[in-house]
């Protein structure tokens, strides 16, 4: 159990049957009346953000989130298959559970599977990936001074905006959190 007075950013708690991660918190001591804790909470399963206030003495059970490194094997229609490299146990998740978390992940790459009480709610891809560009328009000499970008399709099928000097067949580094081009490899 954790009291509202001990809240910190990133802690996960169970409130009213839902699992929330504390995004922001503030201890407020008004001149008149009792102190309280103002929080911004993110529902882990639905990704909705709510604001709530609590008395500092209120207690909540701390939610245990399991993050397991798994290898993305392949997709089979609507199912995506993952394997724990330590136990060789495989799980299949449907596209509703995955969302667009795998748009920059190739087969046989490692991802983190996040679950609470055995139910998977999120997949965390690696922070940075290196992918090859399969399709883009050719750049022209002298176009590099403006800082302009063009769309490019990478080998996973996702579209990334890259500088004009990047050509088809180049390997690039991408930040998976924002989907932004970082550099050529």
CATH code of the domain covering residue 143: 2.40.50.140
Give per-residue pLDDT as tens, 34-51: 899 999 998 887 778 999
How far apart CA 16 and CA 109 sit, in angstroms, is 37
The domain boundary, picked from 124, 144, 165, lies at 124
Whether residues 104 and 139 share a domain: the answer is: no
Whether residues 104 and 150 share a domain: the answer is: no
DSSP label of 4: G
Q: CA-CA distances (angstroms) from residue 16 to 19, 23, 58, 61?
A: 8, 18, 13, 10
Whether residues 43 and 85 share a domain: the answer is: no
| 3-state helix, strand and coil shares in percent for the chain, rounded to the nearest 5 | 5, 55, 45
Does this model's pTM top 0.75? My answer is no
* pLDDT on residue 54: 92
What own/partner pairs with CB < 8 Å and gap ≥ 24 does 88-91 have? 91/120
**Number of folded domains that form the chain:** 3
What is the residue range of 28's domain?
2-60
Q: Is the pLDDT of residue 144 over 90?
A: no
What own/partner pairs with CB < 8 Å and gap ≥ 24 does 148-152 have? 149/181
């Amino acid at each position: 159990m954790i009291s509202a007075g001990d809240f910190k950013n990133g802690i996960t708690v169970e409130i009213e049957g839902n699992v929330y991660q504390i995004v922001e918190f503030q201890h407020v001591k008004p001149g008149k009346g009792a102190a309280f804790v103002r929080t911004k909470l993110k529902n882990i399963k639905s990704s909705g953000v709510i604001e709530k206030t609590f008395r500092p003495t209120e207690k909540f059970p701390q939610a245990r989130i399991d993050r397991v490194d798994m290898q993305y094997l392949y997709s089979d229609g609507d199912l995506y298959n993952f394997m724990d490299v330590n136990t060789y146990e495989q799980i299949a998740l449907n596209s509703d559970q995955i969302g667009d978390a795998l748009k920059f992940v190739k087969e046989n790459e490692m991802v983190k599977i996040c679950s609470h009480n055995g139910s998977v709610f999120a997949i965390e891809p690696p922070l940075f990936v290196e992918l090859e560009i399969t399709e883009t328009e050719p750049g022209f000499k002298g176009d590099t001074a403006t800082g302009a970008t063009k769309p490019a399709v990478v080998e996973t099928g996702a579209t990334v905006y890259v500088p004009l000097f990047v050509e088809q067949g180049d390997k690039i580094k991408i930040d998976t959190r924002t989907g932004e081009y970082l550099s050529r490899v």
